[in-house]
Amino acid sequence: MNKMIVAVFNGETAAFEGLSALKDLHKDGDISVYATAVLVKDASGKVSTKQAAEQGPIGTALGLLVGSMVGLLAGPVGLAVGASLGSLTGLLADLNRSGIDVQFLEDVSKALDPGKVAVLADVEEGWTEPVDARVGKLGGMVFRRQRSEVVDDQLARESAAFKAEVKQLKEELAQTNAENKAAVQAQIDSARKKAQMIQDQAKAQMDQAKHEADAKIASLEEQLKQVNDRQKAKIEKRITKVKSELESRSAKLQEAARLAGEALAP
């Protein structure tokens, strides 16, 4: 399963040993590590990046999570203290795009006290014991969440809603009197503008999903060359899973783009 893992340690030494442990598990084939990052919370409660996530498609999702954590974990009292509504909305949107929910971030924030360090990783993990055991020996605490497709589902729902709204407004336009037609047409134009944005976003999400999946498959194929025969079947299964998940996401996003396109039809 594709998961985001956050391991919280008491200091940098243990954290970087934990990062090395994840890389060792990757070499052994127990997990597949796509991208990693390290965050530090100083004595004042400020969260900063000690090691950034990998560049390129394979690090995009983790990079969004890192940015959200830095922006939202504003202090020891919780999430987004003093954040403006605009910045908060943007950070939460990035969090959703990373496939992680706010509850996960809240759980991490309770453990990430001042002076502690968090190792973040985007991984494929079949079972939890290898990571838990290695991190536990270093005094770390592991938080994990399976990545969801909340943004894809939301786009599909919004596309269907705009299609229905435009249909209803067209019917209203045909029946309303002359003096109200301009107002109804303005509502249609507004709904179509939003539908166009949804369609563009769905297409962008499709491109991003494909680039990310291609990068992950390339990483898994490289890992496949390094593991022993006993672990090869696990890696091959992960490759199949990534391809299957891409097909599922593409189907949802194509449907969202199609519905939005119908809302745009004259």
> HEC profile for 67-88?
HHHHHHCCECCECCCCCCHHHH
Residue type, position 234, single letter: K
Which of these, 90, 86, 121, lies nearest to 4 by C-alpha position? 121
Residue 74 is predicted with a pLDDT of 55
Instruction: Specify the range with the lowest mean pLDDT, choosing from 5-9, 77-81, 227-231.
Output: 77-81
Residue range 113-140: average pLDDT?
Answer: 95
The rounded radius of gyration (Å) of the Cα atoms in the chain is 22
What confidence category does residue 109 fall into, taking pLDDT thresholds of 50, 70 and 90? confident
Share of the chain above pLDDT 70, in %: 89
Residue 173 has pLDDT above 90, yes or no: yes
Give the model's confidence band at 64: pLDDT under 50 very low, under 70 low, under 90 confident, else very high.
confident
Tokens at residue 70, please? 């830095």
Q: What is residue 76's predicted lDDT score, i.e. its pLDDT?
A: 39
Asked if pLDDT for residue 107 goes beyond 90, the answer is no
Q: What is the mean pLDDT of the chain?
A: 87
pLDDT digits (tens, 9 = 90+) for 224-264: 999 988 899 999 999 999 999 999 999 999 999 999 999 99
- Which tokens belong to 153? 């589902």
Residue 238 structure tokens: 């992960």
Q: If residue 207 lies in a helix (H) or strand (E), which one and from where to where?
A: helix 178-226
| Mean pLDDT, residues 162-179 | 93
Up-side HSE of residue 26: CA atoms within 13 Å toward CB?
Answer: 20
Element (H, E) at 12: helix 12-28
Cα separations (Å) of 51 from 2, 107, 121, 139, 248? 22, 22, 12, 20, 32
Task: Write out the two tokens for 57.
Answer: 């498609």
Considering only CA atoms, which of 148, 142, 192, 145 is closest in space to residue 166? 192
The pLDDT value given to residue 94: 62
The average pLDDT across 132-153 equals 89
Could you tell me the maximum CA-CA distance found in the chain, to the nearest angstrom?
76
Phi, psi at 7, each rounded to 5°: -110, 120
205 or 222: which leads in pLDDT: 222
Check pLDDT > 80 for residue 85.
no
**Three-class DSSP category at 139:** coil
The span from the CA of 129 to the CA of 233, in Å, is 19
State how far the alpha carbon of 53 is from the alpha carbons of 26, 60, 76, in Å. Answer: 17, 8, 24
**How far apart, in whole angstroms, are the C-alpha atoms of residue 111 and residue 255?**
40
* Token pair recorded at residue 60: 């995009």
Query: What would the mean pLDDT of 144-170 be, rounded to a whole number?
Result: 87
E-only strand ranges, 77-194: 117-125, 141-146
The residues spanned by each domain of the chain are 2-148, 151-264
Looking up tokens 């502690």 gives 116
pTM: 0.81
Residue with more model confidence, 36 or 88: 36
